[in-house]
């Protein structure tokens, strides 16, 4: 069994895909559970809630992506109420800091304020916080280091070895996406030897970042198995053993 810890089923629906078919294919590939990640808190009832209500094996987060903080201020009280009302909300985010496009990204100040509110909620109700960090390694550490008791997931990790070390020292889990299968992703592959297996997660980030051999196509949770096979072969582990370890990590962290 595998669990996709990060995808965006609402985006897949928006693209016009048959979500019933997507969910069925994931189950057939051995991806038995899915966590669909919120990027707009104010759209949670419209974009996320119908999905988790329809599919028994789909869970979710609630939060505002750092790129969206200027158009969707994270409403702490709204999110808290939703977490209390819907037990299938098992994490907060995705939140974080993205400075990759300084001309178009929201200001660091606004991103940081939103990030801190997400972390505060995660701390207060003991749910993991899903962190997006791009071109903002030190800025991310500066914030997360003030929330050392939080459960943290560094999603779709593409950072440096030093950043990985700092995240691990703060107790974070590091999540690897299908990028690791790309020919030019040697630095991410090198991280596989550094990240303790009991602190590793895997994800699709679907519909983005489809792994080889699907690169360039729409990603989907079913393709998580390809990433898992690739990593297990790289680490010279039996696939079943690797899947067992990663699934145990997910069960411990997300309590599912």
The answer to whether the beta carbons of residues 174 and 195 sit under 8 Å apart is: yes
Radius of gyration over alpha carbons of the chain, in Å?
17
Report the alpha-carbon distance of residue 237 to residue 240 in Å, rounded: 8
Report the alpha-carbon distance of residue 56 to residue 170 in Å, rounded: 33
132 marked ligand binding residue: yes
Contacts of 65 (CB under 8 A, 6+ apart): 39, 40, 94, 95, 132
Q: Is the torsion defined by CA of 200, 65, 184, 218 positive or negative?
A: positive
Two structure tokens written together for 94: 């995705």
21 marked ligand binding residue: no
The answer to whether the beta carbons of residues 176 and 192 sit under 8 Å apart is: yes
Per-residue confidence (pLDDT) for residue 140, from 0 to 100: 99
Q: Work out how many domains the chain is built from and give that number.
A: 1
203 marked ligand binding residue: no
Residue 152: count other Cβ atoms within 10 Å of its Cβ: 23
Two structure tokens written together for 80: 């808290």
Per-residue confidence (pLDDT) for residue 255, from 0 to 100: 96
How does DSSP assign 76-91, residue by residue? HHHHHHHHHH-TTEEE
Per-residue confidence (pLDDT) for residue 146, from 0 to 100: 98
The answer to whether the beta carbons of residues 98 and 139 sit under 8 Å apart is: no
Domain that holds residue 236: 2-254
pLDDT digits (tens, 9 = 90+) for 221-235: 999 999 999 999 999
94 marked ligand binding residue: yes
pLDDT digits (tens, 9 = 90+) for 63-122: 999 999 999 989 999 999 999 999 999 999 999 999 999 989 999 999 999 999 999 999
- Of the CA atoms within 13 Å of residue 92, those in its CB half-sphere come to 30
pLDDT digits (tens, 9 = 90+) for 144-179: 999 999 999 999 999 999 999 999 999 999 999 999
Report the alpha-carbon distance of residue 69 to residue 46 in Å, rounded: 18
Averaged pLDDT for residues 187-199:
97
Instruction: For residue 5, give Cα distances in angstroms to 63, 71, 113, 203.
Output: 15, 26, 25, 5
CATH code: domain of residue 60:
3.20.20.140
């Amino acid at each position: 069994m595998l669990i996709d810890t990060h995808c965006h089923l609402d985006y897949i629906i928006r693209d016009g895909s048959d979500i019933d078919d997507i969910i069925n294919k994931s189950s057939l590939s051995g991806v038995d559970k899915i966590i669909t990640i919120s990027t707009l808190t104010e759209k949670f009832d419209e974009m996320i809630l119908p999905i988790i209500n329809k599919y028994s094996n789909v869970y979710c987060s609630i939060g505002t992506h750092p790129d969206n903080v200027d158009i969707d201020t994270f409403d702490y009280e709204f999110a808290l109420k939703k977490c209390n009302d819907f037990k299938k909300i098992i994490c907060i985010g995705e939140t974080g800091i993205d400075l990759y496009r300084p001309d178009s990204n929201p200001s660091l100040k606004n991103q940081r304020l939103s990030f801190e509110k997400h972390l505060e909620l995660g701390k207060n109700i003991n749910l993991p916080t899903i962190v997006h960090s791009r071109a903002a390694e030190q800025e991310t550490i500066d914030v997360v280091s003030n929330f050392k008791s939080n459960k943290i997931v560094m999603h779709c990790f593409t950072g440096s070895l030093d950043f990985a070390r700092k995240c691990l020292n703060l107790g974070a889990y590091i999540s690897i996406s299908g990028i690791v299968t790309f020919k030019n992703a040697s630095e991410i592959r090198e991280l596989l030897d550094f990240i303790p297996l009991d602190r590793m997660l895997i994800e699709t980030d679907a519909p983005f970042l489809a792994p080889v051999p699907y690169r360039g196509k729409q990603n989907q949770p079913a393709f998580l198995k390809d990433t898992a096979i690739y990593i297990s072969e790289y680490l010279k582990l039996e696939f079943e053993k690797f899947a067992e370890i990663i699934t145990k990590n997910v069960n411990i962290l997300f309590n599912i």
